Amino acid sequence: KAGVTQTPRYLIKTRGQQVTLSCSPISGHRSVSWYQQTPGQGLQFLFEYFSETQRNKGNFPGRFSGRQFSNSRSEMNVSTLELGDSALYLCASSLGTAGTGNTIYFGEGSWLTVV
């Protein structure tokens, strides 16, 4: 059974640009959640989608957005990139919603560098 797949794995963007990251969940999983990981802040929850609806959102500015498609695949978008957005972005999937005790399975992440 294929795991969570994230693309691209590595990317470099310039300040002010926007970026879109993609995530394909484990087959049958309806929840996709996104996290930002940085050395200073650790792992922070961005948002979660379940059956194409945003269920929860973390404390991030509106420049961070996401969506989920009918096949459960998800994308996240960051507009007007800032240097501080440089991070590892992790996607995770689960059968049910992430915060209700369901096991979440992570992809290998997308490394974003903003220059």
Q: Which is nearer to another protein, 20 or 105 (CB)?
A: 105
Residue 103 within binding range of another protein, rule CB under 8 A: yes
Q: Which is nearer to another protein, 35 or 49 (CB)?
A: 35
Residue 56 within binding range of another protein, rule CB under 8 A: yes
Residue 90 within binding range of another protein, rule CB under 8 A: yes
Residue 53 within binding range of another protein, rule CB under 8 A: no
User: How many residues of this chain bind another protein (CB under 8 A)?
Assistant: 27
- Which structure tokens are listed for 91? 């996607």
Residue 23 within binding range of another protein, rule CB under 8 A: no
**3-state secondary structure labels for all residues of the chain:** CCCCEEECCEEEECCCCCEEEEEECCCCCCEEEEEEEECCCEEEEEEEEECCEEEEECCCCCCEEEEECCCCCEEEEECCCCHHHCEEEEEEEECCCHHHCCCCEECCCEEEEEC
Q: Which residues bind another protein (CB under 8 A)?
A: 4, 6, 33, 35, 42-43, 45, 48, 55-56, 58, 90, 92, 97-109, 111
